[in-house]
Amino acid sequence: MEKIYSVSEFNRMVKSYIDDIDDFQDFYIEGEISNITYYKSGHLYFSVKDSKSQIKCAAFNYKMKRIPEDLKEGDAIKLFGDVGFYEVKGEFQVLVRHIEKQNALGALFAKLEKVKEKMAEKGYFDESHKKELPRFPKNIGVVTALTGAALQDIIKTTRKRFNSINIYVYPAKVQGLGAEQEIIKGIETLNKIEEIDLIIAGRGGGSIEDLWAFNEEEVAMAFFNSEKPIISAVGHEIDFLLSDLTADKRAATPTQAIELSVPEKESLIKSLDDKKIYLTKLLKSYLEDMKRELSIRMDNYHLKNFPSTINNYRELIVEKEEILTKSIKDFLEQKRHLFEVKIDKVSVLNPINTLKRGYSVSQVKNKRIDVLEDVEVNDEMTTILKNGRLISIVKEKIYEKNND
């Protein structure tokens, strides 16, 4: 007779079987931690692996179980726990009750830390080396697996945000043997295409082993030496890969790389429309203000009565002009009278006028003679009369008694 089970029945039977096997309870496993995630709920999920296999593990309420809170990718550990089977999903995992660190870092991470220190000392991570991403790229180069989900996410997100952008793809292995060389070759090749504005190199998510090509020093240096702006777009959230540190920009996923580098066309159009509306409103408001100001000015008393005001000022100017003309005329008349008075006074003293009255003036050597002492006998004397001059020689000086 056929044995037919429902899925739930079968999973319940498997769980019961596992729970009854003593070897699946209270055991230790040694290995290296991978894909570790601490949750705020208090639970811890990770995988423990060796060179050939890995097992999913869960530590519920890890803080209550003396489990370290600083476990990192690559840590070598020894865990104690039981096998658990989750009926709902048909999955088994190790339910961890305790973890002991075997060493601080796995071999790969120990090597990586040394490479990081060396590159940091040489300044390969410095912000001064980071190039700005172009604001409006027209052509984007992508280095990733041709069949991977990362490329489809990049194409889909680009078409959604700005569908006129061209995408140049260099298909490359992004994990496993030879991945490093293909990633480097892809970056170098895309750098030689002049029209490319920006390069994105990366892949989708995976275990730290899957992503390790981007932790190789040669790959990180290819990112650093890229002449075009480059984004490291590897799907992971834990820590930073070496390529993240040397690239011009780091994105947590290939999709985020497009979000960082490609503007949304609709948002740009909306922004322009909003600015147009704002400027239109601003201009309209300005014009309305100007109209109100003009209306106020048109109603202004002085403006409305400007012609009559001008006529009033014109009459005032005429009146002032007449007053000013009269004042100047009176002033000149006064000055003329004063001048004539002074002329009369001066005329009285004018010797010419004295001559006109019958008097004469005598001079010796162009000096007027007032007394006898001013002349000597035999001096040539000039006598000025009303209508001419006489030249004579002094023969004798006769003194007369003063009648005063």
Question: From first to last of its 404 residues, what are the pLDDT tens digits of the chain?
Answer: 688 889 999 999 998 998 888 889 999 999 999 999 999 888 999 999 988 899 999 999 888 887 888 888 888 888 999 999 988 888 899 999 999 887 544 567 778 889 999 999 999 999 999 999 999 999 999 999 998 899 999 999 999 999 999 999 999 999 988 999 999 999 999 999 999 999 999 999 887 778 889 999 999 999 999 999 999 999 876 668 999 999 999 999 999 999 999 998 887 778 788 888 889 888 888 888 888 888 887 777 666 666 777 777 777 787 788 888 888 888 888 888 888 887 777 666 666 666 666 677 788 888 888 788 888 888 888 888 878 888 889 888 888 776 55
In whole angstroms, what is the distance from residue 7 CA to residue 27 CA?
29
Q: What is the pLDDT of residue 248?
A: 97
Q: What is the pLDDT of residue 103?
A: 58
Superfamily name with CATH number, domain 7-105: Nucleic acid-binding proteins (2.40.50.140)
**251 with 142: CB under 8 angstroms?**
no
* Burial class, 133, CB count within 10 angstroms (exposed 0-12 / middle 13-18 / buried 19+): middle
Q: Which amino acid is at 224?
A: F
**DSSP assigned state of 145:** -
**Whole-angstrom distance between the N-terminal and C-terminal Cα of the chain?**
192
In whole angstroms, what is the distance from residue 196 CA to residue 22 CA?
62
Q: What is the pLDDT of residue 105?
A: 45
Q: What is the pLDDT of residue 104?
A: 45
- What is the layout of strands, in order, in the sheet containing 367-368? 367-368, 361-364, 380-384, 389-393
In whole angstroms, what is the distance from residue 5 CA to residue 73 CA?
41
Which candidate, 398, 393, 371, places its Cα nearest to that of 382? 393
In whole angstroms, what is the distance from residue 362 CA to residue 358 CA?
13
Please tell me whether residue 148 adopts helix, strand or coil conformation.
coil
Superfamily name with CATH number, domain 110-263: Hypothetical protein af1403; domain 2 (3.40.50.10550)
